[in-house]
Amino acid sequence: MKILIVDDEKDILEFLSYNLQKEGFEIFTASNGVTALKIAKKEVPNLIILDVMMPEMDGIETCEKIREIEVLDSTLILFLTARSEEYSELAGFSAGADDYVTKPIKPKLLISRVNALLRRSKSKKEQSFIEIEELKIDKDKHLLLHKGQVVDLARKEFNLLYYLMTVPAKVFTREEIISDVWENTFVVDRTIDVHIRKIREKIGDKYIKTIKGVGYKFDV
């Protein structure tokens, strides 16, 4: 696993490098955002530990630029912030950060956060492909196969079907679907119903079951 550490303080770079190398990680370092972007493009790290306050290009801007680079789409970002930087934490998440650790840094806590992030990422990747009966769905490739044939779904139809398939037999409420699939964008109940109808038209009626007054589930 590759980790890129970005901080303008040499002592922190050395301190973090030492503790993470002991855990078996391959470490790269940069003292500013500009250098970090160059290294990240070349090495494609699994995780970037990024200080918020840096000269030339601060952590927030660096994070935003990382999120624009396609090859770094799966790279996780962990921010380092001072305890008083609540704004930085919020701005960091808005820029695309996955987690943060406050300074002064406690090695055991940092390593615990790093391992937890990498575990979560691995679990998401493993879940990106789901096969149930005659349906195969690959989220990363935006591909759906039904009885071996490619099924063309619109983006929201695909996301909705994938969402239901992640936990077969679980009843998802309309509120959960709106929150997770439409990301709380204002939609009426009828919008969900229309998308479900269109999915059924393409893969048949047997997979998605309506739970009256509650929501939907992927039936197995």
Domain boundary among 92, 126, 160: 126
* CATH number assigned to the domain comprising residue 121: 3.40.50.2300
Question: Average pLDDT over the chain, rounded to whole?
Answer: 89
Q: pTM higher than 0.85, yes or no?
A: no
Q: Please, which pLDDT band fits residue 95 given cuts at 50, 70 and 90?
A: confident
For residue 86, pLDDT over 80 is answered with: no
How many separate domains does the chain show? 2
pLDDT of residue 123: 59
User: Among 81, 88, 91, which Cα is nearest to 113's?
Assistant: 81
pLDDT given at position 40: 97
Judged against a pLDDT cut of 80, whether residue 146 lies above it is answered with yes
Domain range for 167 is 129-218
Listed residue (24, 2, 25, 28) closest to 13, CA to CA: 28
Closest among 189, 182, 195 to 215, alpha carbons compared: 189
Q: What does DSSP say about strands 149-150 and 143-146: parallel, antiparallel, or unpaired?
A: antiparallel
- Domain end point (choices 84, 108, 126): 126
The verdict on 168 and 116 lying in the same domain is: no
What pLDDT, in 10s, does the model give residues 36-52? 999 999 999 999 999 99
Does 133 lie in the same domain as 95?
A: no
Domain CATH code at residue 137: 1.10.10.10
Q: Is the pLDDT of residue 54 over 70?
A: yes
Give me the mean pLDDT over the 118-147 stretch: 84
Name residue, tokens 């005659």: 134
- The candidate with the shortest Cα–Cα distance to 42, out of 16, 72, 22, is 72
Which pLDDT score, from 0 to 100, does residue 73 have?
Answer: 83
How confident is the model at residue 102, as a pLDDT? 86
Question: Sorting pLDDT into bands at 50, 70 and 90, what band is 169?
Answer: confident
